[in-house]
Every structure is written in C-alpha cells, then in structure tokens.
C-alpha cells in the first residue's frame, strides 16, 4: 500500500533538488491525493470500448528530494525512473512502488555524502549531497573520563537487553510513518538536546542520543508518527528503564525511554497521535522525562529536525 505523490509535488521536488540551498530551507510537504486524470476528447467521437489510458508518467532522470540537509537530518523524495537499487553512503535506501524514499544523515556525518541509484539497464545516477555541520553543545570538563563500573551481573543483563534492542530495530513492518510530518510526542521543558557531549580532558565521552522532554511522572505521551510497536520492555532495562520502540518503516524507528507505563503491546499498529504510555524515571534517569531517540539504519538523528515549533 502506498500513497502516490501528485505530479505537482514531484515537479516541485525536482526543482528543489536542483538548488541545494533551497532544498534545506524548504519545509517538507505532506503528500496529497493525486487528482484523477481528466480524459478530454471531441464530443463527436464515439465512446471508446475501454477506459482511456492515462498518459505515461514523465521520465525522471535524477533524484528529487527535500528535507533537512544537515548532521542528524533527513531527506524524502523520489528515486530516478527505472531505479533497481539505491544507496546513500553505502547504506541501502529502500523505496516504495511509487519511487518515494526516505534517507537520513548521522550526527557525525561528514560534509558530503553520495546518493547513488543503479538503474534497470545497469546505468547509474548519482548525486553528491552537501551536509551542513552542526554546532553541537560541547561541555569541556577537567576530569578524566571514567566509564561506569560494571559488574559481571550488569554485563550479563546488558547483553540480553542489547540483543532485544538490535532484534527490534531489525524488524521490517511495512509501516508508513516515514511519509508523515512528525508531531511532538509530549511538550514541556527541553532538558536535554540530541548530540550534546562532554569532553573529558580532551577525550570526548558518549554524546546524548535523543531529545529529553521533562514532565512529571504520569504525564501521557503519544506517537509522533504512524508505526508498529517492535519492543515493549515492561521489566525495566538497566539503562533505558521501561523502553518502547516503534518502527516507522523504511529503516526509521523511534525509542522512548524511562516510561512509567506503556499501554501498547508488541506487534500493535499505532497511529500518529495515539496514546502510548506515561513519562517516568525508570532505568538510569535523574528525574522524570521522556527521552526520545530516532534512528535510520545505523544513523542517529535529531528529533528536533523532524518537528515544527512546540505547540502551546
Ligand atoms: Zn536523554
């Protein structure tokens, strides 16, 4: 099942793709219903035996896309006509029957990345994307980096937890949330930004992998886009606590950490805006907040680049 992008949207995507700076400035468009083709024929002509054949879709010899071309950002668009396979920097880019695709850029993505399509006739179409660097929030501290102490018991538990997370991310559900403009799962004070990092005497520690929204325990949160539930950890994980993971399709998925409660179950299809659970402080958390991570394949993404301004 797939939505068709109307020709007008396809045309505007094509124009944007030719102008790198406009492409990143433009806000994403929601796909709209394609208008029915109108058959025009002289009145005197007798009705044909079968329905009129719509004109063939115009050939698209290049990638058409728009989005946020910066570290932690993403693009949506259309692959060239007759594309057999597509790659972004060596990672597979899946596309729908109508040629629509989604791809994204890791937090540490370099200044350029190649988008390549291999066509049915063996030819290739490639485009070099310029990815704007981000001014990540770095905090320099004059103490040596110390990884948290871990007991044999912790390592044993952690191995099992990570295996479940990896298995959840590997699921392909056919969800279509990747086509949507995302909404805020909860609103509130932003208590942690994606990508922020401490640097210990010159040695960078791990960076913050999601967006933190602080709210009291028990505050409900909702699905930012359509998806399928791939993991519900009702027994809190050591770090993530009660963890919920949702696949949005095409390799894009969300994780919600530290929940107090989760009200959906694995395998359940959820709609954008659907109530998923409540905010809490389970796992490793200093206070109640929703930690929301987004990943596309191996790339970690900035949820803020998927959202409009926070609603009141
Ligand atoms: Zn966090």
Å from CA of 254 to ligand 1 middle? 13
- Work out the average pLDDT over 248-260: 98
Å from CA of 154 to ligand 1 middle? 20
For residue 119, pLDDT beyond 50: yes
The confidence band for 285, taking pLDDT boundaries of 50, 70 and 90, is very high
Kindly provide the residue ranges of all beta strands, DSSP E only, lying in 120-237, ordered along the sequence: 124-130, 138-141, 189-192, 197-200, 203-204, 211-214, 220-222, 227-237
Domains of the chain, CATH where assigned: 7-33+56-130 (2.60.40), 138-306 (2.70.70.10)
Q: What is the spatial distance between Cα 92 and Cα 99, in angstroms, rounded to a whole number? A: 14
Å from CA of 191 to ligand 1 middle? 8
Q: What is the spatial distance between Cα 254 and Cα 272, in angstroms, rounded to a whole number? A: 12
Å from CA of 194 to ligand 1 middle? 8
Å from CA of 211 to ligand 1 middle? 6
For residue 133, pLDDT beyond 50: yes
The 10s digit of each residue's pLDDT in 64-117 is 999 999 999 999 999 999 999 999 998 999 999 999 999 999 999 999 999 999
The 10s digit of each residue's pLDDT in 188-225 is 999 999 999 999 999 999 999 999 999 999 999 999 99
The 10s digit of each residue's pLDDT in 27-38 is 334 433 333 344
Q: Is 127 exposed, middle or buried (0-12, 13-18, 19+ CB in 10 A)?
A: middle
Å from CA of 234 to ligand 1 middle? 19
The answer to whether the CB of 108 falls within 8 A of the CB of 45 is no
């Amino acid at each position: 099942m797939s939505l068709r992008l109307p020709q007008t949207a396809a045309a505007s995507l094509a124009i944007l793709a030719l102008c790198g700076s406009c492409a990143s400035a433009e806000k994403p468009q929601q796909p709209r219903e394609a208008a029915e083709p109108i058959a025009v024929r002289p009145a005197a002509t007798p009705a044909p035996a079968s329905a009129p054949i719509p004109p063939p879709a115009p050939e698209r010899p290049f990638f058409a896309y728009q989005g946020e071309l910066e570290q932690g950002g993403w693009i949506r668009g259309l692959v060239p006509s007759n594309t057999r396979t597509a790659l972004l920097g060596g990672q597979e880019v899946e596309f729908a029957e109508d040629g629509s695709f989604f791809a994204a850029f890791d937090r540490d993505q370099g200044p350029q990345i190649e988008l390549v399509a291999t066509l049915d006739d063996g030819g290739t179409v490639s485009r070099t994307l310029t990815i704007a660097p981000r001014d990540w929030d770095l905090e320099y501290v004059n103490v040596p980096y110390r990884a948290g102490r871990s007991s044999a018991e912790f390592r044993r538990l952690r191995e099992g937890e990570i295996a479940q997370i990896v298995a959840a991310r590997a699921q392909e559900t056919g969800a279509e949330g990747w086509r949507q403009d995302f909404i805020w799962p909860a609103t509130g004070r932003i208590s942690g930004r994606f990508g922020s990092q401490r640097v210990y005497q010159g040695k960078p520690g791990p960076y913050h992998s999601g967006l933190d929204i602080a709210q009291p325990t028990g505050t409900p949160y909702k699905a930012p886009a359509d998806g399928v539930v791939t993991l519900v950890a009702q027994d809190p994980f050591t770090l993530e606590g009660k963890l919920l993971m949702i696949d949005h399709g095409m390799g894009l998925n969300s994780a919600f950490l530290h929940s107090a409660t989760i009200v959906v179950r694995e395998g359940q299809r959820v709609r954008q805006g659907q109530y998923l659970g409540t905010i809490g402080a389970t796992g490793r958390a200093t206070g109640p907040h929703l930690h929301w991570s987004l990943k596309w394949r191996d790339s970690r993404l900035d949820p803020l680049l998927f959202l409009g301004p926070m609603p009141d």
